[in-house]
Amino acid sequence: MAEGKKERELGNLLLRYAGPSAPLLMKHALDRASIIGLEEASQTQLVSLKENIIEYILEPMLHRGKLALARSELISVLGIDIHPVGQSLPEFIDGVRVLPSNMESILIEKFKSFGEFIMDREMKKYGLKGLSGTDSKTRHLILSAFVGEHFGESGKSILDNKIAEFDLVDMNRSPMYNKIILMEYILQSMLAFYIEPLKARFLRSELISIMGIDLKMAQGGIEQEKAENEVLVDICRLDRSNPKTKERLADLVELIGARYRKKIGLDHIARLTPDQSFESLEDLSKAIFGKVGECVLKSMQVKNVRVKNKFILRYLDSYLEKNLSDQEKREIEKRIEVNTGTSFILAV
């Protein structure tokens, strides 16, 4: 087999993780996937190769934090065709503009002012004048509050999963690169629903301070660029199954549904009017997407309740599509329908 660019990069990747046995392991993996040359391999063969390498080579020797990083790098090296989903807000519904054309500028200003408010509030809460020398527990509490207020349950779910996955429980002693990876997840996975991550330099600066990240590594260095690329690949991963996120969303949907029914004095959701269904969906969206999501909903420039309902359903559908497997997505959609008296068929 002639050695092309992909073969060289894959060989180097495996050499780093598997040592001298890498060439033999790579040959066996290629044989199992029935691949003669990587440049000519189909997407199906490449996906099969990826799964083989993860299962037989990487999983037995790496803990889950390093495995996640290696998996992202593997997808990038193999050139697996990835398609991002759920990465934008629906600006138009049935040809009608729902959000103002300057929505991104509105959100950028919202991020700036709200970020400063959260930082100031959290610093006062713990009697801090600066974040240098802050202990890991306090950093976690500030980061959780910061992300939760901005991005709601969608943000907290990603944050909790990634802190465990990348061994960041003791943030002050964690590898700097792992903290940069977490920062990139917060920026790219959450901001994808609001503004382009590159336009959020102010938010990046706040996260650098909260997490105690080395400034040179985090702003334009080789490590930051590598982390950004790996996160982009991993966000678009082929396997979107996330049982923990599904469970948290299921509990949240039930809680918001029960709270709304109690508020309006109804015990059966089927009796909701279209306006009440919208109010229920709005409450749920605010809980899932946080204060910045709330800003999006307040910026809608239409009064037709059918259009507004359709907008929120598409907004929710986009988030579920991005973060859950097809089966998990259907389960959560069913719960939302039951608790809000609406149907995702309307989002089509």
Question: pLDDT by residue for the chain (348 residues), tens digit each?
Answer: 456 888 889 999 999 988 889 899 999 989 888 888 888 887 767 877 887 898 889 888 888 677 877 887 888 888 876 544 445 688 888 889 999 999 989 998 888 889 889 999 999 999 998 888 899 999 999 999 999 999 998 888 888 888 888 888 899 998 898 999 899 888 887 887 788 777 788 888 899 999 999 888 877 667 777 787 777 766 665 567 788 889 999 999 999 999 998 888 877 666 788 899 999 999 999 999 999 889 999 999 999 999 999 999 998 988 888 788 888 999 999 999 999 988 888 777
Provide the pLDDT for residue 164.
84
335: enclosing H helix or E strand: helix 326-340
Cβ distance 290 to 193 under 8 Å? no
Q: How far apart are CA 147 and CA 143, in angstroms?
A: 6
Q: Do 62 and 118 belong together in one domain?
A: no
Q: Do 67 and 15 belong together in one domain?
A: yes
Q: Do 147 and 201 belong together in one domain?
A: yes
Q: How far apart are CA 233 and CA 222, in angstroms?
A: 17
- Domain extent for 16: 5-78
51: CB partners within 8 A, 6+ apart = none
Q: Do 63 and 152 belong together in one domain?
A: no
Q: How far apart are CA 74 and CA 48, in angstroms?
A: 12
Number of structural domains found in the chain: 3
Q: What is the dihedral of CA 216, 221, 222, 226, to 10 degrees?
A: 100
Q: How far apart are CA 49 and CA 62, in angstroms?
A: 18
Backbone conformation region of residue 284, classed left if phi is above 0, alpha if psi is from -120 to 50, else beta: alpha
Confirm whether pTM is higher than 0.95: no
Question: b/e map of 244-264 (b: 16 or more CB within 10 Å)?
Answer: ebbebbbebbeebbeebbeee
Does some domain include residue 83? no
Q: How far apart are CA 165 and CA 68, in angstroms?
A: 8
Final residue of a structural domain among 235, 261, 281? 235
